[in-house]
Amino acid sequence: MLDSSMAEGLVDVKGAGVCAIDAHSVYIHIPFCVRKCAYCDFLSFPNCVSRIDEYVEALCQEISLAPKLWGNEIKPLLRTIYFGGGTPSLLSGKQVAEILLALKSGFDLSEDCEITLEANPGTIDAQKLCAFYDAGINRISLGIQSLDDSVLRTLGRIHDADTARKAIDIVQEVGFRNVSCDMMLGIPGQTLENVKATVGELLERGIPHVSLYSLILEEGTPMYARYGGDIEKYVTQEADREMYHEVIRSLTAKGYTHYEISNMARAGYESRHNMMYWRAEQYYGFGVGAHYYLGQERGRHAETLEEYLAALGETNVRREDVYFPEETLTREDCMKEFMILGFRMGSGVDARMFQERFGMTVESAFAKELEQEQAKGLVVAEEGAYRLTEKGFDLANQVFMDYV
């Protein structure tokens, strides 16, 4: 339990200097899709592909202005860049190159900067992938979801299983080694056999990173209208968990590490960008709806194209025209978030990192919580870290609630 002096909206996280912007990552939102998938409530606009050019222009303008708007005196150094969506693979190679050029004008990129682009298998060909590669993209995250046609139809994806297989082939033939595939679980009609077959193929094809998502029915989506509150009739919680454990088992047996609740990777292929989120580090966000976390400020961008384009079209763009703060984090917020996010990782909450960031030990900040979690067998202390046990991973929400 934190004492009250720590909880009073302190403005300085570490003692001095942490309020300063210390971000080495960038998230870029590309909000366009060919059409809406049946389960999707992400911020993405179908049938607007004709507007990509003007969007990229505004995005480059925002990126070029960012260091000045945030008062950076020297060029910030970037270690990870992530193009997410939406469907970033709807961009052309030239547009991706333009965005990266804008980044290089205001930021320094580390020599080994991880640059990921999310790709929908239904939107890529070898020529486009080569152009992405030449532009500097070095990691592709493919939204495969499943290699079963009936499951893909239920999800309303624009691609079938063969298109997804071909996409993997193209990505690898072009020369991308750092490739991730998304798999979705808990879908009505999906069986354990479907899941085994998909993960088996991903293994055969040498995909080094797999992200797992359980279907969440969001109100307002076609799948919600179809399955609504009755989802348990089609797929039970137990079935969903069984699928999850099957994937974890299959990949662990082949040497993958379960390095985060929903992510498995071969050594060296962990997503460095996502690790940045789980270490509760700051990041720049660019584009419609993109979130950002800079200094102690967390916020987002306008969620409509019109608002975003209008803000960037001004002659004298001010920070408040583009960035909408939502939250000012207190020291207590930061500590709790560090715990929750840290527990998501297989390596757990790094005690040394906690002390470096907050100037106190994790044991002194959360003695009671850690003691109880260990007594319940949910958390174990090991090699300078506190991490979830196998039981803890299954009951992770119970642990997270201790820090809410």
Residue count, binding to ligand SF4 (CB under 6 A): 10
Nearest approach, Cβ of 252 to ligand SF4 (angstroms)? 27
Binding residue (CB under 6 A) for ligand SF4 from 7, 21, 42, 213: 42
3-state SS, the chain, equals CCCHHHCCCCCCCCCCCCCCCCEEEEEEEECEECCCCCCCCCCCEECCHHHHHHHHHHHHHHHHHHHHHCCCCCCCEEEEEEEEECCHHHCCHHHHHHHHHHHHHHCEEEEEEEEEEEECHHHCCHHHHHHHHHHCCCEEEEEEECCCHHHHHHHCCCCCHHHHHHHHHHHHHHCCCCEEEEEEECCCCCCHHHHHHHHHHHHHCCCCEEEEEECCCCCCCHHHHHHHHHHHHHCCHHHHHHHHHHHHHHHHHCCCEEEECCEEECCCCCCHHHHHHHCCCEEEEECCCCEEEECCEEEECCCCHHHHHHHHHCCCCCHHHHCEEEEECCHHHHHHHHHHHHHHECCCEEHHHHHHHHCCCHHHHCHHHHHHHHHCCCEEEECCEEEECHHHHHCHHHHHHCCC
Stretch that binds ligand SF4, among 35-43, 72-80, 131-139, 231-239 (CB under 6 A): 35-43
Stretch that binds ligand SF4, among 9-17, 33-41, 329-337, 381-389 (CB under 6 A): 33-41
Instruction: Give the separation between CA 69 and CA 140, rounded to whole angstroms.
Output: 30
Q: Token digits for 285?
A: 């966000």
Binding residue (CB under 6 A) for ligand SF4 from 13, 26, 28, 37: 37
Instruction: Give the separation between CA 42 and CA 158, rounded to whole angstroms.
Output: 16
Stretch that binds ligand SF4, among 29-37, 146-154, 355-363, 380-388 (CB under 6 A): 29-37
Site string for ligand SF4, 44-73 (x = CB under 6 A): x-----------------------------
CB-wise, 58 or 90, nearer to ligand SF4? 90
Stretch that binds ligand SF4, among 79-87, 176-184, 185-193, 213-221 (CB under 6 A): 79-87
Stretch that binds ligand SF4, among 36-44, 234-242, 283-291, 360-368 (CB under 6 A): 36-44
Nearest approach, Cβ of 82 to ligand SF4 (angstroms)? 14
Nearest approach, Cβ of 87 to ligand SF4 (angstroms)? 5
CB-wise, 41 or 394, nearer to ligand SF4? 41
Binding residue (CB under 6 A) for ligand SF4 from 13, 40, 151, 345: 40
Going by C-alpha positions, the residue among 47, 48, 63 that lies closest to residue 96 is 63
Binding residue (CB under 6 A) for ligand SF4 from 14, 36, 226, 241: 36
Site string for ligand SF4, 112-151 (x = CB under 6 A): --------x-------------------------------
Burial class (CB in 10 A: 0-12, 13-18, 19+), 266: middle
CB-wise, 129 or 248, nearer to ligand SF4? 129
Q: Counting contacts by CB under 6 A, is residue 33 touching ligand SF4?
A: yes
Residues 321-380 interacting with ligand SF4 (rule: CB under 6 A):
none
Site string for ligand SF4, 83-112 (x = CB under 6 A): --xxx-------------------------
CB-wise, 67 or 186, nearer to ligand SF4? 186
CB-wise, 20 or 34, nearer to ligand SF4? 34
**Residues lying near ligand SF4 in the complex (CB under 6 A):** 33, 36-37, 40, 42, 44, 85-87, 120
